């Protein structure tokens, strides 16, 4: 999260910036924490930072300290509508490299039209939380290699969860999977956030694409959420990803904002 708050008096030279761990910084003024920064490693090895500060000057001090301590390039994400945060990142030397559309996705099959969406013959869907961890991690490694050999992991959602390079599975209980002949061929990751669940990733093995597997994963997951009382979920799609854009807009998803990915080289 990158947030600028209003706190008169913050940001003077009396603010002390301290690195409290390998991945965390604090800004302290008059014995109170007036800002903090975090560094997170993505599966593709890129380093993303986030800053939450009570004043623009505190943001600038944190950004300066983190940039001096961490290897370049550094990446960040920001809400396109948050002009103050974007201005702060620009002051820190960051520029925009990618834009993701943020969608509000309905779960009601009467709206999405996904009720009849069934997987191809021989494919079944295991709902969120039912995947075998070892088999899921095997699929993740295959998908990681296929994506890296193709468009690259940089095209995946900027808010992917941090983890060790070579894997994007942090919590196996958050995944639904498509299974064919005993092997996993596709996955969907759902972050069950309190305010609105978020679809973090949908991916299908290259040889099995364009057969309706991604659509079936989405149909099964959204139907389960609808039956549990959730009316909509959030999803981010890189605006150059025509297939994903068509999938979500085709089921009535509404674009209600955008996230920008930024870089300082």
pLDDT tens readout for residues 91-133: 999 999 999 999 999 999 999 999 867 888 999 999 999 999 9
DSSP state of 153: G
User: What percentage of the chain carries pLDDT values higher than 70?
Assistant: 86
Q: Which band of pLDDT confidence, cut at 50, 70 and 90, is reported for residue 9?
A: very low
What confidence category does residue 88 fall into, taking pLDDT thresholds of 50, 70 and 90?
A: very high
pLDDT confidence of residue 150: 66
Asked which of 93, 124, 146 is the last residue of a domain, the reply is 93
The pLDDT value recorded for residue 118 is 81
Q: Which residues does residue 175 pair with via DSSP β-bridges, in sequence order?
A: 189
Q: What is the chain's mean pLDDT, rounded?
A: 87
In this structure, are 135 and 248 located in the same domain? Answer: yes
Q: What's the structural domain count of the chain?
A: 2
**pTM of the predicted structure, to 2 decimals:** 0.76
Minimal CA–CA distance to 154: which of 52, 257, 240? 240
How sure is the predictor about 2, in pLDDT bands with cuts at 50, 70 and 90? low
For residue 106, give the nearest of 224, 254, 255, 213 by alpha carbon.
254
Residue 235 in any domain: the answer is yes
**Are 189 and 232 contained in the same domain?**
yes
pLDDT of residue 11: 46
Is the residue at 148 inside a domain? yes
In sequence order, what are the residues at sequence separation of 6 or more whose Cβ sits closer than 8 angstroms to the Cβ of residue 257? Answer: 79, 80, 81, 101, 102
pLDDT reported for residue 144: 83
The packing angle between helices 83-91 and 56-69, to 10°, is: 40
Tens-digit pLDDT profile for residues 196-235 = 899 988 999 999 998 999 999 999 999 999 999 999 999 9
The confidence score (pLDDT) of residue 113 equals: 93
Which of 93, 119, 144 is a domain's end point?
93
Residue for token digits 């390998």? Answer: 22
Query: Is 74 within 8 Å of 264 (Cβ atoms)?
Result: yes
Which residues span the domain enclosing 199?
Answer: 102-258
CA–CA distance, 245 with 100 (Å, rounded to integer):
10
Q: What is the pLDDT of residue 128?
A: 93
- Count of residues in the chain: 265
**Chosen domain end from 72, 93, 114:** 93
Q: Residue 20 domain-assigned?
A: yes
Residue 186 in any domain: the answer is yes
């Amino acid at each position: 999260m990158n947030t600028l708050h209003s706190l008169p008096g913050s940001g003077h030279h009396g603010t002390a910036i301290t690195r409290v761990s390998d991945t965390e910084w604090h800004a302290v003024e008059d014995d109170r924490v007036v800002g903090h920064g975090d560094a997170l490693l993505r599966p593709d090895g890129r380093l993303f930072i986030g800053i939450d500060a009570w004043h623009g000057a505190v943001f600038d001090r944190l950004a300066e300290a983190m940039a001096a301590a961490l290897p370049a390039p550094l990446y960040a994400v920001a809400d396109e509508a948050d002009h103050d945060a974007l201005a702060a990142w620009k002051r820190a030397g960051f520029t925009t490299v990618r834009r993701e559309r943020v969608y509000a996705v309905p779960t009601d099959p009467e709206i999405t039209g996904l009720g009849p969406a069934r997987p191809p013959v021989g494919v079944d869907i295991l709902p969120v939380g039912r995947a075998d961890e070892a088999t899921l991690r095997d699929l993740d490694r295959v998908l990681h290699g296929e994506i890296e050999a193709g468009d690259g992991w940089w095209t995946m959602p900027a808010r992917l969860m941090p983890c060790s390079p070579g894997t994007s599975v942090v919590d196996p209980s958050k995944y639904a999977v498509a299974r064919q002949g005993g092997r996993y061929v596709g996955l969907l990751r759902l972050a069950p956030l309190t305010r609105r669940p978020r679809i973090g990733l949908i991916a299908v093995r290259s040889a099995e694409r364009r057969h309706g597997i991604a659509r079936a994963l989405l149909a099964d997951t959204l139907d389960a959420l609808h039956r549990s009382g959730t009316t909509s979920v959030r999803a981010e799609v890189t605006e150059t990803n025509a297939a994903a854009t068509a999938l979500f807009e085709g089921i009535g998803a509404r674009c209600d904002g955008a996230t920008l990915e930024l870089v300082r080289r």
